[in-house]
Amino acid sequence: MLIEMPRHTEIFGSVKIHEMQRILKIDSGGFANSRAKDIPFDEIKDVFRRFAIIVPVKDEKIHLLEGVLRAIPFDCSVIVVSNSRRDAPDTYKMEKDMVKNLHDLTQQEILIVHQKDPDLGFAFYEAGYDYILDKDTVVRDGKAEGMIIGMLLAKSLGKDFIGFADADNYIPGSVREYVMDYAAGFCMAESPYSMVRLHWRYKPKVVEDKLYFQKWGRVSETTNKYINLLISTRVGFETRVVITGNAGEHALTTKLADILSYSAGYSVEPYHFICLFDGFGLDAECITDADAANAGIEIFQIETLNPHIHEEKGDEHVNNMLLGSLQTIYYCKLCNDLVRSKVLEELGDLLEFDEPKENIIMPPIGEIDTHRFVKLLESTAETFTRCKQGITECEAEKEEYLEEESVRTL
């Protein structure tokens, strides 16, 4: 792959935010130069082997989900975390059947679980991580909650890199590119604490019967503006470095995933920045992790070659996402009165009260014993399946567990 070098890096405390980098060639010819880095495919493939891609899904068209799963490179493990309906018609059953069939045909490692499985909730409870649970000890609804489930499964597989791909993507080829872009970012990273966030070159919309290749969505443009204002007012120099405030398509090293906190629902992506600013930003009150602070935390922002075409979910959904995003900025510890007042102005009628609500923040997952967590899932959770080469593992594990249990009862 040939990828532009970042022209500038904004250094904000221990957080290094690289300016946007364009993909020049997906399949390159080994010609590196001072403005572009060539990354041989062998290096990309090496990352794939240490990579899990999580696909959160909630009631998407099965064709779209299938396209996304088929596009993820074979060497990556795939983790589907579904919050789709279970009452008739049981969408989750369709997803699971499709996943098993795909595994039978391809032998790629795929794990799937349902977010509302009571035994999954119980596994979180047993792990002492009840921040993700509702009052009935079931995992709450929300994309971030699905992402956390997926990250624990990725950790249990021993993966070093964790990435995300939405399930409602109409162009499977773009998903393949996203995963390659993530890998390219990790090949460039100097710190073990790094994150790759994708900026879509275009997000086409149908305007008066024609495709219009729009560059920015309303939410991301606004989120970026206020994250940049936050940095600018702290540093004293204006910056527009952040262009991926809401990047749903992103990936991070497991080391970084272990020390981040996570904001619920769709506010998860802008909160990555806020969490890093609070814990590692310029003048942060207390450093969250000395090792990460010394190594530095690197954020790559890569512009994809492919456009992004996905399901549109309506104005209410967009407004909620905007509200969730700006709430995270408002409550950043480094946010000053100027930024807060601008955020309030921007939110206007979207605000129910004078002050925005605080989003639910879930603490780091680094301390959870993922092997114990997954062992419990394998032995109890009806919706959990791990398809790995040759076998569908949870079925074998479940039988083994039931046999052990019956011996114990005798």
CB atoms within 10 A of CB 316: 8
The SS3 call for residue 18 is: strand
Q: How far is the CB of 282 from ligand GDD (least distance, A)?
A: 25
Per-residue tokens: 138: 């079931």
The SS3 call for residue 119 is: helix
| Alpha helix positions (H), 246-392 | 254-259, 268-280, 290-295, 315-330, 337-347, 370-380
Contacts with ligand GDD, 308-347, as mask; x by CB under 6 A = --xx-x---x------------------------------
Q: How far is the CB of 187 from ligand GDD (least distance, A)?
A: 24
Q: How far is the CB of 198 from ligand GDD (least distance, A)?
A: 10
248/281 with CB nearer ligand GDD: 248
DSSP state, 351?
Answer: -
Q: How far is the CB of 58 from ligand GDD (least distance, A)?
A: 4
DSSP state, 139?
Answer: B
The SS3 call for residue 155 is: helix
304 binds ligand GDD (CB under 6 A): no
Q: Is 187 exposed, middle or buried (0-12, 13-18, 19+ CB in 10 A)?
A: middle
Stretch that binds ligand GDD, among 1-9, 56-64, 178-186, 274-282 (CB under 6 A): 56-64
DSSP state, 263?
Answer: E
Q: List strand residue ranges (DSSP E) for 66-219, in order.
A: 77-82, 110-114, 161-164, 194-199, 205-207, 210-212
Q: How far is the CB of 35 from ligand GDD (least distance, A)?
A: 29
281 binds ligand GDD (CB under 6 A): no
Q: How far is the CB of 2 from ligand GDD (least distance, A)?
A: 26
Residue number closest to ligand GDD, CB atom: 248
57 binds ligand GDD (CB under 6 A): yes
d(CA 354, CA 279): 27
Closest by CA to 366, choosing from 125, 88, 112, 129, is 129
Task: Give, as ranges, the residues between 239 and 258 that touch ligand GDD (CB under 6 A).
Answer: 246, 248
269 binds ligand GDD (CB under 6 A): yes
Task: Give, as ranges, the residues between 74 and 103 that touch ligand GDD (CB under 6 A).
Answer: 81-83
Angle between helices 91-106 and 62-71 (to 10 degrees): 30
Let me know: does 76 contact 51? Beta carbons within 8 Å: yes
Strand partners, 206: 211
The SS3 call for residue 136 is: coil
Q: How far is the CB of 45 from ligand GDD (least distance, A)?
A: 26
141 binds ligand GDD (CB under 6 A): yes
185 binds ligand GDD (CB under 6 A): no
The SS3 call for residue 11 is: strand
The residue from 178, 266, 271, 280 that contacts ligand GDD (CB under 6 A) is 266
66 binds ligand GDD (CB under 6 A): no
39/277 with CB nearer ligand GDD: 277
The residue from 56, 121, 324, 356 that contacts ligand GDD (CB under 6 A) is 56
The residue from 166, 177, 289, 298 that contacts ligand GDD (CB under 6 A) is 166
Q: How far is the CB of 263 from ligand GDD (least distance, A)?
A: 11
The residue from 13, 67, 73, 146 that contacts ligand GDD (CB under 6 A) is 146
60 binds ligand GDD (CB under 6 A): yes
Per-residue tokens: 407: 């011996």
| Alpha helix positions (H), 190-336 | 218-235, 254-259, 268-280, 290-295, 315-330
115 binds ligand GDD (CB under 6 A): yes
10 binds ligand GDD (CB under 6 A): no
115/224 with CB nearer ligand GDD: 115
d(CA 152, CA 217): 31
The residue from 28, 91, 108, 220 that contacts ligand GDD (CB under 6 A) is 220
Number of residues that bind ligand GDD (CB under 6 A): 25
d(CA 117, CA 337): 43
Q: How far is the CB of 318 from ligand GDD (least distance, A)?
A: 7
Closest by CA to 21, choosing from 270, 179, 188, 160, is 188
Residues contributing to the site for ligand GDD (CB under 6 A): 56-58, 60, 81-83, 115, 141-143, 146, 166-168, 217, 220, 246, 248, 266, 269, 310-311, 313, 317
